[in-house]
């Protein structure tokens, strides 16, 4: 292997430069602590700190020198830039530190910084789902199991199911902060250091909630990143299910919804086409996030403690998953905000689909007929209805009574799909105004 190829194969600067701001932040905290503990003279500390602050400013302004592959990774690149600025005193920055705790610190910071952004984006999507649920409490559509019409439900009920799924996602990301916001800085290479460092001080300066209590664990742990990818995978799975339903609902056969032009594309050859490209892309992008998770799980599974170069493979998947989940949340939020619901098509779909068969069985059961028998009576009526193209509510009373003399005129009230939805007041059924208010309260706390 040529030295050039070895350098390229071993380098991570192409991707770990995404952590440049975190690397500088970590170094500023570290050198501040080296000063306050008297490990370095204050004069050196001031010089190093000023140099790092200048680099941070240049990074922000976009005027920083180009990173180079000759310096392998972001840590050595920043140190090289610092050395060019302030001279050999820059070399004192690495006292009582190793790249092993440095990279772990950067990565923890990076994930800790992203988590609130992800949570805010989920929250925004939940806000749109609540609005849709509020607007569509009275919009009726067929609820399905096995994708077969089952019972009528309200569209508001449906949207709130996704709200709840996202609530769990949010809680998982919130919990993730507990494991990401832990400082490995000061673990040094693996065994701690002989210098009288103050790990609590650097953790406080960096805003970490806790400090790793075992230096070996500190430099070896990537669980927080695996958790992040697990949570991202679960979130994408949810967004994919929602996408799938929107794609089906936007099809000619269903026509339950129409996607806004901004969220669909035409065909170059078929003028009538309106493709749900963006929903399909969200569904498709789940694959890469699952891949990111499997990749890191596999990288970590055989690693002895402590740092191994394999761990350089931990970052790209996390960066990629972040871009993917943030993009997907953004697209889904806009897509739902602009969604046109065709409530007339939804209502028509519950008229002749026998999705009120359970109502008739419940009606008979409430009049004392054992439910199994009621189910069989209704089954025969449905069969007849299918053969004669007559919905249950359109059968004359005499015909219904021939099946069971328990049936009276009031049955037609219960067979109305709208009534069927409104009567499902058991806990977890139709979100009543009261339960909707409770959900809103929960969301705000």
Q: How far is the CB of 221 from ligand ARG (least distance, A)?
A: 13
Q: Please report how close the Cβ of residue 210 comes to ligand ARG at its closest, in angstroms.
A: 22
Three-state secondary structure call for residue 63? coil
The dihedrals phi and psi of 273, each to the nearest 5 degrees, come to: -75, 140
Nearer to ligand ARG, 102 or 324 (CB): 102
Among 56, 121, 300, 311, contact with ligand ARG (rule: CB under 6 A): 311
Where are any strands of DSSP class E within 241-363? 257-258, 340-341
Our CB check for ligand ARG shows the closer of 44 and 101 to be 101
For residue 139, give Cα distances in angstroms to 162, 244, 352, 355, 390. 17, 20, 17, 16, 24
What is the distance between the terminal CA atoms of the chain, rounded to a whole angstrom?
58
Contact 178, 231 (CB under 8 A): no
Q: One symbol per residue from 85 to 124: x for binding ligand ARG (CB under 6 A), - otherwise; what is it?
A: --------------xx--x---------------------
Q: Is 312 in the site for ligand ARG (CB under 6 A)?
A: yes
How large is the angle between the packed helices 223-249 and 99-135, nearest 10 degrees?
30
Number of residues this chain uses to bind ligand ARG (CB under 6 A): 10
Q: Toward ligand ARG, which CB reaches closer, 19 or 346?
A: 19
- Quick one: 44 or 106, whose CB is closer to ligand ARG? 106
The per-residue DSSP string of 346-396 comes to: HHHHTTSS-TTHHHHHHHHHHTT--HHHHHHHHHHHHHHHHHHT--GGGS-
Total number of residues shown for the chain = 445
Site for ligand ARG in 5-24 (CB under 6 A): 12, 16
Among 44, 73, 101, 221, which residue interacts with ligand ARG (rule: CB under 6 A)? Answer: 73
Burial class (CB in 10 A: 0-12, 13-18, 19+), 4: exposed
- From CA 245, how far away is CA 255, in angstroms rounded? 12
Q: 226: which residues sit within 8 A by CB, 6+ positions away?
A: 293, 296, 297, 300
Find the binder of ligand ARG among 44, 307, 317, 377 (CB under 6 A).
307
Shortest gap between Cβ of 118 and ligand ARG (angstroms)? 23
Q: Select 135 or 303, whichever has its Cβ closest to ligand ARG.
A: 303
To the nearest whole angstrom, how small is the minimum distance from the Cβ of residue 107 to ligand ARG? 8
DSSP 150-195: EEEEEHHHHHHHHHHHHHHHHHHHHHHHHHHSEE-TT-TTTT--SS
Q: Which residues are catalytic?
A: 146, 267
16 vs 221, beta carbon nearer ligand ARG: 16
Enumerate binding residues for ligand ARG (CB under 6 A).
12, 16, 73, 99-100, 103, 307, 309, 311-312
């Amino acid at each position: 292997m040529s030295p050039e190829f070895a350098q390229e194969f071993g380098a991570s600067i192409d991707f770990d430069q995404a952590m440049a701001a975190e690397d500088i932040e970590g170094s500023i905290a570290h050198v501040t602590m080296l000063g306050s503990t008297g490990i370095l003279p204050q004069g050196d500390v001031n010089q190093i700190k000023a140099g790092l602050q200048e680099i941070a400013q240049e990074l922000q302004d976009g005027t920083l020198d180009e990173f180079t592959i000759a310096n392998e990774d972001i840590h050595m690149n920043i140190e090289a830039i610092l050395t060019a600025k302030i001279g050999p005193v820059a070399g004192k920055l690495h006292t009582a530190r190793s790249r092993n705790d440095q990279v772990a610190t950067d990565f923890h910071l990076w994930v800790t910084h992203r988590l609130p952004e992800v949570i805010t984006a989920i929250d925004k999507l939940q806000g749109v789902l609540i609005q849709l649920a509020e607007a569509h409490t009275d919009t009726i559509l067929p609820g399905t199991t096995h994708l077969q019409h089952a019972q009528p439900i309200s569209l508001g009920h449906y949207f709130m199911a996704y709200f709840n799924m996202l609530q769990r996602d949010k809680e998982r990301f919130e919990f993730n902060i507990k494991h990401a916001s832990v400082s490995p800085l000061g673990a040094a290479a693996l065994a701690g250091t002989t210098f009288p460092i103050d790990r609590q001080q650097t953790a406080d300066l960096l805003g970490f909630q806790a400090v790793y209590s075992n230096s070996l664990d500190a430099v070896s742990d990537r669980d927080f990143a695996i958790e992040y990818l697990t949570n991202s995978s679960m979130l994408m799975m949810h967004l994919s299910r929602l996408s799938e339903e929107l794609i089906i609902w936007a099809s000619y056969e269903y026509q339950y919804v129409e996607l806004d032009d901004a969220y669909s594309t035409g065909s170059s050859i078929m003028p009538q086409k309106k493709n749900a490209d963006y929903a399909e892309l969200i569904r498709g992008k789940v694959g890469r996030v699952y891949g990111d998770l499997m990749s890191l799980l596999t990288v970590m599974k055989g690693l002895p403690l402590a740092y191994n170069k394999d761990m350089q493979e931990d970052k790209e998947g996390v960066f990629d998953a972040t871009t993917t989940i943030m993009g997907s949340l953004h697209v889904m939020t806009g897509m739902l905000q602009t969604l046109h619901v065709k409530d007339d098509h939804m209502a028509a779909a519950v008229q002749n689909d026998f999705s009120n068969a359970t109502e008739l069985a419940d009606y008979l059961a409430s009049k004392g007929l054992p439910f199994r028998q009621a189910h069989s009576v209704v089954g025969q009526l449905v069969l007849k209805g299918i053969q004669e193209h007559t919905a249950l509510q359109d059968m004359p009373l005499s015909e219904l009574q021939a099946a069971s003399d328990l049936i009276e005129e009031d049955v037609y009230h219960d067979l109305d799909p709208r009534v069927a939805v409104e009567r499902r007041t058991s806990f977890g059924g139709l979100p009543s105004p009261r339960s909707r208010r409770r959900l809103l309260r929960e969301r705000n706390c």
